Amino acid sequence: MPDMELRHLRSFVAVAQELNITRAAQRLHLAQQAVSGHIQQLERSVGVTLLVRTSRGVRLTAAGDELAAGAKDLVGGLDDLAARVRRVAGGQAGRLRLVCKPHATHDFAVDVAEAAEAAFPGLSVDLVSVSTLPEELELLATGGADAAFLWVPTGDDRLRYAEVRTDRRMVALPAAHPLAGRAAVTLADLADEPVIMPEVAVSEAVTRHWLAEPRPDGRPARRGPTAQRIEDRLILVARGRGVWLAPEPLSRYFPMPRVVWVPVTDAAPSQLALVWTQRSPDALMAALAAQARALAGGAD
């Protein structure tokens, strides 16, 4: 079997199309002598004459015509294969596993997935639904997901992120609570209220963020009972066991009898972000975050 090098075939295809070595060399950004050398080496490899020089350039022999027909498809196919490999390596093709909590992303996650697949035709986006931050972080850490939508901070400095949307902070109160009829409250109003917390603490920094610590008066929040599932936290609220601070989308996604949601005017807002690991290409993640910002109504 002849040992034909791709660079020799690429030069031959260019000469066969241009029928002129000078123009072929210019097209390939090579010296004319280099292209001529490639043709000569290719002829030695296959053992036949592929072209003859004329006063106007070159003419393909019958063998040259035959090789040109096959080499054009071969070189084009290899170029296409290389481009596909680069797209996969750059995250623009292949499979992207995107984790989301429906209560945070129900109004835009599907649109983001479809927009990404339209922008990168070789990319397939799988949406994976979970309920809690620890589940999201576990999938990212183990390679079960490539990226996730979650509220920051994450408690893991190794993760990269781009903000997607800003959500104001709300407090869930028992319907019979004296503050439940207010249009808004402050953290000072909630100073003596036990705040319901998750059972699994990702980190103390994350816990302090969701407790809205430090408070304006410098005092720590009063820590209340724990529950991992959102529904269980709201049941604790409904039963008067404590209050719960959460981003505004949860007030719409989890309406519950005997629970009233009220804005907290001086609590720092929650930042929903697209978060990814170092395994995921930054350029693709930046494009995905920009799409999410546009679809979720966040500032770009």
Indicate whether 161 belongs to any domain. Answer: yes
Model confidence pLDDT, tens digit, residues 162-221: 999 999 999 999 999 999 999 999 999 999 999 999 888 788 889 999 999 988 888 899
Residue-level length of the chain: 300
Among 19-23, 111-115, 190-194, the range of highest mean pLDDT: 190-194
**Number of domains comprising the chain:** 3
CATH code at position 242: 3.40.190.10
Percent of the chain with pLDDT over 70: 92
The verdict on 131 and 156 lying in the same domain is yes
Residue 95: name the closest of 136, 145, 137 by CA.
Answer: 145
Phi, psi of 30 (to 5 degrees): -125, 165
The verdict on 244 and 226 lying in the same domain is yes
The verdict on 84 and 97 lying in the same domain is no
Q: How confident is the model at residue 77 (pLDDT cuts 50, 70, 90)?
A: low
**Structure confidence at residue 78 (pLDDT):** 63
The range of the structural domain enclosing residue 103 comes to 93-166+271-296
Indicate whether 72 belongs to any domain. Answer: yes
Q: What is the pTM of this model?
A: 0.67
Does position 121 have pLDDT exceeding 90, yes or no? no
Q: Round to whole Å and give the CA distance between 108 and 291.
A: 10
Indicate whether 190 belongs to any domain. Answer: yes
Q: Round to whole Å and give the CA distance between 88 and 94.
A: 6
The verdict on 103 and 13 lying in the same domain is no
The verdict on 60 and 105 lying in the same domain is no
**Do the beta carbons of residue 8 and residue 45 sit within 8 Å?**
yes
The verdict on 108 and 244 lying in the same domain is no
Indicate whether 1 belongs to any domain. Answer: no
- Of 27, 60, 89, the residue that ends a domain is 89
Model confidence pLDDT, tens digit, residues 209-261: 999 998 888 889 999 999 989 999 999 999 999 999 999 999 999 989 999 99
Helical H segments across 57-132, by residue range: 62-89, 102-105, 109-119
